Structure 1
Amino acid sequence: MKITCNFDSGNIDVIKADSPADIQLAIRKDNNSDFYQWFHFRLNSSSPEPHTLRITNVKESAYPGGWQDYQAVASYDREHWFRVDTHYINDELVITHYPEAESVYFAYFAPYSYERHMDLLHQTQASGLAQLLELGETLDGRDMSLLVVGEPSATKKKIWITARQHPGESMAEWFVEGLLDRLLDEDDAVARRLLEEAVFYIVPNMNPDGSVRGHLRTNAAGVNLNREWQTPSMAQSPEVYLVRQKMLEIGVDMFLDIHGDENLPYNFVAGAEGVPSYDARMQQLEQSFKQALLAVTPEFQTEFGYELDAPGQANLTIASTWVAEQFKCLSYTVEMPFKDNANLPDAAYGWSDVRSMKFGADTLVAVLAVVKQLR
């Protein structure tokens, strides 16, 4: 029996693996950080019996409440990920699985690999509808890549979408892939109309170093990028610094920052009601966007979400609030669950890579509903 995480986005430490009935594991912390929750590893075993894998250090993880009612995902081919029997017992995450093949992967959520990320960039470029711009490099020397979809002009709205500031939130890049698939479909009426009205500036992965390293929440330096937007630096947070500079150069009329939430089993948005310049126009744009998204997909809801910020009390180090205040525009953080959508549960797959992609595609309808009002 062998357990390894020596691959892209891998994360696990083996404490004990002498018997299939008692495999003890621990999740590694992000580099230079106390954050941890993401795991991704491979089990190779020829033993014809159920395997019990106990992740022993989850009580002190970043979001211990996220383990309640959570189920891990597994895959035999690294393409199709399904939920497996998982329980939070005695402060441990206990995964029980009867392997149907010698080798099986387990993960916190369906991984989005760096290879797939590069494929997404270059397949989008090859569509003929987009440019691929390199803004600079991360601390580990990876490219910070920006996709520009549509033909820029002074009259068109500038819509920015960033994903995966927190690298363990892989559903965010699946969301972007689904959105891009629809946006690049020349037979799709929503996409065609949007590209008449707007240009999309899309960063599919804001944190490629953390993604490859198997981090939950930080970059290579252990910095939480979504707390860097007021004062980023090339020394600690080049990912934010480079994207922010491009925003200041080009301008922003609408911004969506895509994330995943460990605790809440719902899709929801967090707005800019607490920024100093929040006004009736911003409020109306937010309401219009939410109502349109409610109408287009039952995956979205507005009953559950984060507590609203008091007027003037927003944290401006966060991307969506900094952008809202800087550009006086519609700006949302979009959150998806690691668990399942409790309003539309799926016992076999839970919230998944496929559902994230479809949610991304559906979100374009809500963007279309507000695009003429953005400026």
Structure 2
Amino acid sequence: MRTLPIFFFSAGFLISCSSVRTVDFETPVDTSDKQITFQERQVYFQEDLGLVVDNTFDGARLNGIEKLNDSTIKAIIRPENEPINSSPYYAFKIASNTPKKVYVSLEYPKGHAHRYVPKVKKPTEEWEALDPSKTFIMDSLVTLELLLDKEPTLIAAQELQTSEQVKEWYHDLSSDKGYVRAYIYGTSKMGRELPVLDIYHGGKANKPIIVLLTRQHPPEVTGFFAFKAFLETVLDDSELSKAFLDTHRILAFPMLNPDGVDLGHWRHNAGGVDTNRDWSKYRQPEIRQTVEFIEEQLKNDGARLLLGLDFHSTYKDVFYTNTSQEGSALPHFEKDWFSALGENIPDYKVNESSGNSTKPVSKGWFLKRHGAVGITYEIGDNTPRDRIRTIGRVSAQEMMKILRSNTNLN
């Protein structure tokens, strides 16, 4: 197995296209830096209860602990800053010096409701959702009943998918595929790598481009799981995949907000900003460099951007689309794609929510800036993981079929 080469773009690349065209939206959003509060990374020793609690790993979120009684501790969970989307994220390890039942109360700030079903993991085991009968919710205090021992138990709102874990995944996925080119096209506010996978067969000149994005919002890992299944299908070397990559090019961005992911943020990047509100003025480095990279590829290779899919998570499966398709390269794509998904995914009904993008989000940028179809591809927080893989796989297959058909017609 060969090692996947990583190519770094020089500073000259970034400077050369620093004046990319901005896009106006009806409802502007101030995406200049906002102050954030960093959690203190430490190992907490609760000697009275014989507990050790740890938040010293990437993706952790824990702002302090307190003893409440002889069987209960409070885990204080705070966001990076406010105002913020009400989606409290938490992740920490906990162990006990003797086997026993312990209660952990998660305390969120007032006004923030519990969102994520707790997931638990032992070092040598797989992630599992905590038994619902072991979770007790009262206002902004959520109490978990846990059986602990000396081996640390990882408790998290969603399965951890840190920047390093994502890097390992795409290296493994692409290590023996010469048509996958991995680039580090920039760095985050705190200096973490921003990777892209540039995927095509043969030459790239004039090939239409499809952009795949994910992890703008750190906890939204179900969207990332769909992105994984989607991309793995594009790279499965089937006859469909081979034919598609002969005529089309994929730019896949697997980690748009690595600072927020590794810092355990609820929503924002290290600039305290929702990056999916920055697709207008590009004030945050992650979005600015992503836009610069996309624009440079289109310019250099005489290509057109056809489709942009931005993978997220929310409370249920839903596709957010643009109602207006004025100037779209593929005005019938959504209708054809959603029809194919309904026909080819067992017991599946497409949930589309259509509305023009008044705020500067990616789906609006794809359409307004490039006349491309823009879709926010949302997966439910609790959608079964095997179901996500099926949805991701079939949606990739049907996308390739439709775009291949359009190419053949032309």
* TM-score computed with the length of structure 2 as normaliser: 0.76
What is the CA–CA distance in structure 1 between the aligned matches of 2:169 and 2:71, rounded to whole Å?
40
Q: Which residue of 2 aligns with 1:347?
A: none
Query: Max radius of gyration: which structure?
Result: 2
1:52-110 CA-to-partner distances (Å, cap 9, x unmatched) read: 2111225433xx2x53xx52111112761111132322332222222376310011111
The question of whether the paired residues in 2 share the 8 Å contact of 1:289 and 1:370 is answered with: yes
Q: How many residues align?
A: 345
Q: Tell me the CA shift for residue 14 of structure 1.
A: 2.9
Deviation of 1:283 (Å):
5.0
Deviation at residue 231 of structure 1 after TM alignment: 0.6
Q: Provide the residue aligned with 2:48 in structure 1.
A: none
- For 2:290, the aligned partner's letter is V
Q: 1:222 & 1:298 partners in 2: Cα distance?
A: 41
Tell me which residue corresponds to 1:176.
227
Supply the distance in 1 between the matched residues of 2:357 and 2:139 (Cα, whole angstroms).
37
In the alignment, the residues of structure 2 paired with residue 17 and residue 189 of structure 1 have an alpha-carbon distance, to the nearest angstrom, of 60
Contact 2:123 2:152 in 1 (8 A): no
- CA deviation after TM superposition for structure 1 residue 363, in Å: 2.0
Displacement after TM superposition at 1:9 (Å):
0.7
Indicate the percent of aligned positions where both proteins have the same amino acid. 19
Secondary structure of the equivalent of 1:288?
A: helix
Using the alignment, how far apart are the partners of 1:366 and 1:221 within structure 2? 38
2:313 maps to 260
Comparing 38-47 with 150-159, greater Cα deviation is found at 150-159
Query: Is the CA contact (8 Å cut-off) linking 1:87 and 1:93 kept in structure 2?
Result: yes
Indicate the residue corresponding to 2:282 in structure 1: 232
Kindly indicate whether the alpha-carbon contact (under 8 Å) linking 1:267 and 1:299 is maintained by their aligned counterparts in 2.
Answer: no
Please say if residues 270 and 334 of structure 1, whose CA atoms lie closer than 8 Å, have aligned partners that are also in contact: yes
Letter aligned with residue 332 of structure 2: Q
Pick the aligned partner of 1:202 from 230, 252, 270.
252
Q: 1:286 aligns with which of 322, 327, 334?
A: 334
Tell me if structure 2 keeps the 8 A contact 1:58–1:92.
no
Find the counterpart in structure 1 of residue 123 from structure 2.
77
Distance verdict in 2 for CA 1:147–1:337, change over 3 Å: same
Per-residue deviation at 1:256? 0.4
Aligned to 1:215: 265
Q: Which residue of 1 aligns with 2:135?
A: 86
Structure 1: 5+ residue runs without aligned partners? 342-350
Question: What RMSD in Å do the two structures reach over aligned CA positions?
Answer: 2.6
Secondary structure of the structure 1 residue equivalent to 2:148? coil
Are 2:71 and 1:21 equivalent residues in the alignment? yes
Q: 2:158 is matched by which residue type in structure 1? A: F
Q: Bigger CA drift: 111-120 or 212-221?
A: 111-120
Give matches, 1:95-244, under 5 Å.
Answer: 95-99=144-148, 102-126=151-175, 127-151=177-201, 152-186=203-237, 188-233=238-283, 237-244=284-291
Deviation track 1:202-244 (CA, whole Å, cap 9, x = no partner) reads 00010011111111211111011000001103xxx11111111
* Conserved? CA contact 2:240–2:401, under 8 Å: no
> 2:84·2:267 contact (CA, 8 Å) conserved in 1?
no
For residue 40 of structure 2, what is the aligned residue in structure 1? Answer: none
Distance 1:360 1:15, change over 3 A: same
Amino acid at match of 1:238: P
Amino acid across the alignment from 1:77? P
In the superposition, the TM-score normalised over structure 1's length comes to 0.83
Aligned pair in 2 of structure 1 residues 136, 318: CA closer, same or farther (>3 Å)? same
**Cα distance between partner residues in 1 of 2:273 and 2:124:** 29
